[in-house]
Amino acid sequence: MGRYFAVEGLGNASGDAGKFKEAVETAVAKTAKSLLLVSEDVAAMAAALPVAVARKPLLYAATADNYMQMTELAQSSGCALAVKAANLDALAELVDKIIALGYRELVLDPVSPETGTLIARMTQIRRLAVRKKFRTFGYPTIAFTTEHDEQAELLQAATYMAKYTSVLVVRTTKKELLLPLLSWRANLFTDPQKPVAVEPGLYAIGDAGPASPVYCTTNFSLTYFLVEGEVEATRIPSYIIAVDTGGISVLTAYADNKFTAEKITGAIKELNLEEKVRHRKIVIPGAVAVLKGRLEDESGWEAIVGPREASGIPKFARDRFS
Amino acid sequence: MGKRGKGEEQITVEIYKEKHRSQVREVVLGAAGGGGGTRSHTIKVGGETTLPFLHFEGEIPNRPVIAMEVWDMVPADWPDNLKAFFSDVYSDPAAWAKKCVDLYGADLVALRFKSADPEIRDASAKDCTAALKKVLAAVGVPLIVYGCGKGDKDNEIMGALAEAAEGENLLLGVAEPDNYKSLAAAAMAYRHSIIAQSPIDINIAKQLNILISEMSSSLFERIVIDPTVAALGYGLEYSYSIMERIRFGALSGDRILAMPMIGNVGNEVWSKKEATGSADEYPGWGEQPERSLAWEAVTATALLQAGMDILVMRHPHAAALVKQSIDELMRDHNP
């Protein structure tokens, strides 16, 4: 799931240093992830740091009150240091002071309890760094969610992720809430101009065997995963051939001569499909029904024209294969 | 840019504001008594002079709104956790709409005439207009009206629906590049607004808006763009990026793109296995009921950050969560 595991200290009350150290020891023993040590109490941080120093934890956080000692701790251990201040002016001032002490491994927290304020600040930090080359803000950022309700926290986290948060700290541990958040991260950091491809080849869906239907599509990941999802939904064990079209979609590849009868025939041969299944039938996407005749001539297989949209596969398979 | 102030340690960060030249057109949905309709109020969307929720740099006069989806028949394939909210009203679109507005706080109702699909029930234009009139009588909010999605049949029913609700300023959907004329004609004749849908393609979005403007310059002022949204995990980044480009176009003075945007979030999300698959089928994914509503809410949240003005949603709790998030984001935040 996430890359960091945060260990939160309990505040500045005396006697907490020991408890924080214990908590860090537990975390080191129980997880192999990177650690985020959360305490503004220098004594607590100094006591706990040796336990985790081999992991190079991110130290959270330097504030106007503790920055000299926190910077010293970070500098001597080589750990990155989060810098926290209540507004952008104070943050810039604090960052400059830490840089003046000679340390630059920083992560910025423009902390605000309000989602809208935080994204306004994150937007400023990123714009000033990129557009104005304001080096004080030229660092990654960190944000903690503040919403108490787990579902509201999810939406706050999704918003922070969209607006330039580099390290996002959430409290929920529910899979059903983390899965959409991590999917959003995967989407957001995918360049939509680059076609995302899956490895060309033969994919077995379920416990596919010699009698299983065979579908073919392109290796454009969006197409492939839609088809895979729908074939899974048929609950009929099947094979899917992802033909190498250079990662472009069915119609685009067809128009560009990258999804042709010859290509599909070549894939059938290369993948030894004739040894994997007893029948000689292959389902082609409805959008390229025009390939049927030539594919049958080339391959000697029967080409079955499938639905135009992947969403039609379950009904198609019900009518045809069950 | 950071600058040293007069005091030795005082730094003032100079806030960076983009200078946008233009603004998104404001579109009014619905018509009340004075405007020739029977809605209890109208709703304005659009009008932004900056990117989403950046109140420090421009005006965001209208909040994004949530339309809840109502069908004119029982949806066969909605998962149980979604169906449960509407099981008492499924057979009655008017009661269903009323529940969405009164109980779940929907800003708008999006009425989908699924039963007109020739492969489903092939309901007639007469059946559809009867249902529309009942819904108009049952709720005071402005309505979005979708056909069944089959072009030929929609051309038959949408004209009749537009006529039956003359002057209500419905938001009629959807016009597509290869099928826009009859819907645009109906919107013009009976004073409605129109959804122009393009397949995640900014050039087609422009082309379609131009085609509609050639039919009627006043209808051009009443276009809402549907850029086609993908669900979380299914190419959401494509929609996000096209929407950002449309919005940048609008703010930099391209009036062909200066329309509010609408997204069919529920329709995309609720067919995906992440929303429907049980924990037994996908043991690593957590429980389906909460996962599914989270899937819809996160998809909507992402689209809001790309400039969505109207979200069409299904799950009442997902809609409520997103609404709460909009409340927070619409407060006048400064950096």
pLDDT at position A247, please?
86
Asked if A245 and A220 count as a contact pair (C-beta separation under 8 A), the reply is yes
Cβ-proximal residues to B66 (8 Å cutoff; 6+ apart), any chain: B106, B107, B108, B310, B311, B313, B319, B322, B323, B326
pLDDT at position A14, please?
46
Ramachandran angles phi, psi of B277, nearest 5° = -70, 135
Contact criterion met (CB < 8 Å) for A151 and B232: no
Which of A120, A177, A311 lies nearest to residue B294, judging by beta carbons? A177
Asked if A110 and A129 count as a contact pair (C-beta separation under 8 A), the reply is no
pLDDT at position B34, please?
87
Alpha-carbon gap: B243 to the closest alpha carbon of chain A (Å): 12
Q: What's the mean pLDDT in B25-40?
A: 95
Q: What's the mean pLDDT in B210-228?
A: 96
Last residue of a domain, one of A154, A188, A222: A188
Q: Please check whether residues A147 and A36 belong to one and the same domain.
A: yes
pLDDT at A12 over 70: no
pLDDT at A1 over 60: no
Contact criterion met (CB < 8 Å) for B295 and A128: no
Q: How far is A96 from A135, CA to CA, in rounded Å? A: 10
Q: Please check whether residues A168 and A233 belong to one and the same domain.
A: no
By the 10 Å C-beta count (0-12 exposed, 13-18 middle, 19+ buried), B166 is classed as middle
pLDDT at B2 over 90: no
| Interface mutation target, options A141, A176, A205, chain B, most CBs of B under 10 Å | A176
| Interface mutation target, options B6, B10, B11, B236, chain A, most CBs of A under 10 Å | B11
Q: Please check whether residues A257 and A283 belong to one and the same domain.
A: yes
Q: Please check whether residues A145 and A206 belong to one and the same domain.
A: no
Contact criterion met (CB < 8 Å) for B297 and A154: yes
Contact criterion met (CB < 8 Å) for B11 and A163: no
In this predicted model, what pLDDT tens digit does every residue of B289-300 receive, in sequence order? 999 999 999 999
Q: Please check whether residues A27 and A155 belong to one and the same domain.
A: yes
Ramachandran angles phi, psi of A261, nearest 5° = -60, -40
The two structure tokens encoding residue B244: 């950002």
Residue A196: inside a domain, yes or no? no
Q: What's the mean pLDDT in A274-299?
A: 95
Q: What angle do CA B225, B227, B233 make, to 5 degrees?
A: 150
pLDDT at A194 over 80: no
pLDDT at A3 over 70: no
pLDDT at position A2, please?
62
By the 10 Å C-beta count (0-12 exposed, 13-18 middle, 19+ buried), A107 is classed as buried
Asked if B137 and B111 count as a contact pair (C-beta separation under 8 A), the reply is no
Alpha-carbon gap: B155 to the closest alpha carbon of chain A (Å): 22
Q: How far is A140 from A107, CA to CA, in rounded Å? A: 5
Q: Please check whether residues A181 and A245 belong to one and the same domain.
A: no
Look at A210 and A7; give whichever has higher pLDDT. A210
DSSP conformation class of B333 = -
Asked if B296 and B270 count as a contact pair (C-beta separation under 8 A), the reply is yes
Asked if A62 and A83 count as a contact pair (C-beta separation under 8 A), the reply is yes
Contact criterion met (CB < 8 Å) for B54 and A120: yes
Say what the alpha-carbon torsion angle A215, A220, A226, A227 is, to the nearest 10 degrees: 0
A124 touches chain B (CB under 8 A): yes
Query: What is the ipTM, given to two decimal places?
Result: 0.95
Q: Please check whether residues A258 and A309 belong to one and the same domain.
A: yes
Q: Which residues of B touch A225 (CB under 8 A)?
A: 234
Alpha-carbon gap: B2 to the closest alpha carbon of chain A (Å): 7
pLDDT at position B101, please?
98
Q: Which residue has the tokens 């006591």?
A: A47
Which residues of chain A from 203 to 242 reach within 8 Å of chain B, CB to CB? 222, 225-226, 229, 232-233
pLDDT at position B281, please?
87
pLDDT at position B5, please?
45
In the A/B pair of chains, how many CB contacts fall below 8 A? 159
Residue A153: inside a domain, yes or no? yes
pLDDT at position B46, please?
98
- Which residue in chain A has the smallest CA separation from B298? A155
Last residue of a domain, one of A153, A188, A223: A188
Last residue of a domain, one of A159, A188, A217: A188
Contact criterion met (CB < 8 Å) for A311 and B329: no
Number of domain units in chain A? 2
- What average pLDDT is seen over chain B? 95
| Domain range for A93 | 4-188
> A245-249 long-range contacts, Cβ below 8 Å, gap at least 24?
A245/A218, A245/A219, A245/A220, A246/A195, A246/A197, A246/A219, A247/A195, A247/A196, A247/A197, A247/A218, A247/A219, A247/A220, A247/A221, A248/A195, A248/A218, A248/A220, A249/A195, A249/A218, A249/A220, A249/A222, A249/A223
Residue A193: inside a domain, yes or no? no
Q: List the end-to-end C-alpha distance of chain B, in Å, as a whole number.
A: 14
pLDDT at position A9, please?
65
Q: Which residues of A touch B325 (CB under 8 A)?
A: 115, 152, 155-156, 159
Q: Please check whether residues A223 and A110 belong to one and the same domain.
A: no
**CATH for A15:** 3.20.20.20
What is the CB neighbour count within 10 angstroms for residue A103? Answer: 17
pLDDT at position B9, please?
56
Contact criterion met (CB < 8 Å) for B13 and A192: no
- What is the band of B6 on the pLDDT scale with cuts at 50, 70, 90? very low
Which of A114, A154, A187 lies nearest to residue B236, judging by beta carbons? A187
* Cα radius of gyration rounded to whole Å, chain B: 21
Alpha-carbon gap: B5 to the closest alpha carbon of chain A (Å): 11
A86 touches chain B (CB under 8 A): no
Asked if B300 and B314 count as a contact pair (C-beta separation under 8 A), the reply is no
Look at A86 and A196; give whichever has higher pLDDT. A86
Alpha-carbon gap: A98 to the closest alpha carbon of chain B (Å): 13
Q: What's the mean pLDDT in A2-15?
A: 61
State the SS3 of B133-174: HHHHHHCCCCEEEECCCCHHHHHHHHHHHHHHCCCCCCEEEE
Residue A195: inside a domain, yes or no? no
Contact criterion met (CB < 8 Å) for B305 and A229: no
In this predicted model, what pLDDT tens digit does every residue of A77-120 receive, in sequence order? 999 999 999 999 999 999 999 999 999 999 999 999 999 999 99
Residue A194: inside a domain, yes or no? no
Which of A89, A128, A181 lies nearest to residue B12, judging by beta carbons? A89
Q: Please check whether residues A232 and A94 belong to one and the same domain.
A: no
Q: How far is B26 from B42, CA to CA, in rounded Å? A: 12
pLDDT at A11 over 70: no
Contact criterion met (CB < 8 Å) for A116 and B287: no
**CATH for A290:** 3.40.50.11600
A313 touches chain B (CB under 8 A): no
- What is the band of A10 on the pLDDT scale with cuts at 50, 70, 90? low
pLDDT at position B1, please?
45
pLDDT at A13 over 80: no
pLDDT at B231 over 50: yes
Q: Which residues of A touch B290 (CB under 8 A)?
A: 151, 174, 176-177
Contact criterion met (CB < 8 Å) for A151 and B15: no
| Interface mutation target, options A124, A155, A190, chain B, most CBs of B under 10 Å | A155
Q: Which residues of A55-93 are buried (b: 16+ CB within 10 A; e: fewer)?
A: bebbbbbbbeebbeebbebbbebebbbbbbbebbebbbb
Contact criterion met (CB < 8 Å) for A184 and B333: no
State the SS3 of chain A: CCCEEEEECCCCCCCHHHHHHHHHHHHHHHCCCEEEEECCCHHHHHHHHHHHHHHCCEEEEECCCCHHHHHHHHHHHCCCEEEECCCHHHHHHHHHHHHHCCCCCEEEECCCCCHHHHHHHHHHHHHHHHHCCCHHHCCCEEEECCCCCHHHHHHHHHHHHHCCCCEEECCCCCHHHHHHHHHHHHHHCCCCCCCCECCCEEEEECCCCCCCCEEEEECEHHHHHHHHHHHHHHCCCEEEEEECCCCCCHHHHHHCCCCCHHHHHHHHHHCCHHHHCCCCEEEECHHHHHHHHHHHHHHCCEEEECCCCHHHHHHHHHHHHC
- What is the band of A15 on the pLDDT scale with cuts at 50, 70, 90? low
Q: Please check whether residues A173 and A269 belong to one and the same domain.
A: no
CATH superfamily ID and name for B30-330: Dihydropteroate synthase-like (3.20.20.20)
- What is the band of B332 on the pLDDT scale with cuts at 50, 70, 90? confident
pLDDT at A180 over 60: yes
Which of A93, A120, A177 lies nearest to residue B335, judging by beta carbons? A120
Asked if B92 and B100 count as a contact pair (C-beta separation under 8 A), the reply is no
Q: Which residues of A touch B233 (CB under 8 A)?
A: 183, 186-187
- Which residue in chain A has the smallest CA separation from B292? A176
Contact criterion met (CB < 8 Å) for B274 and A179: yes
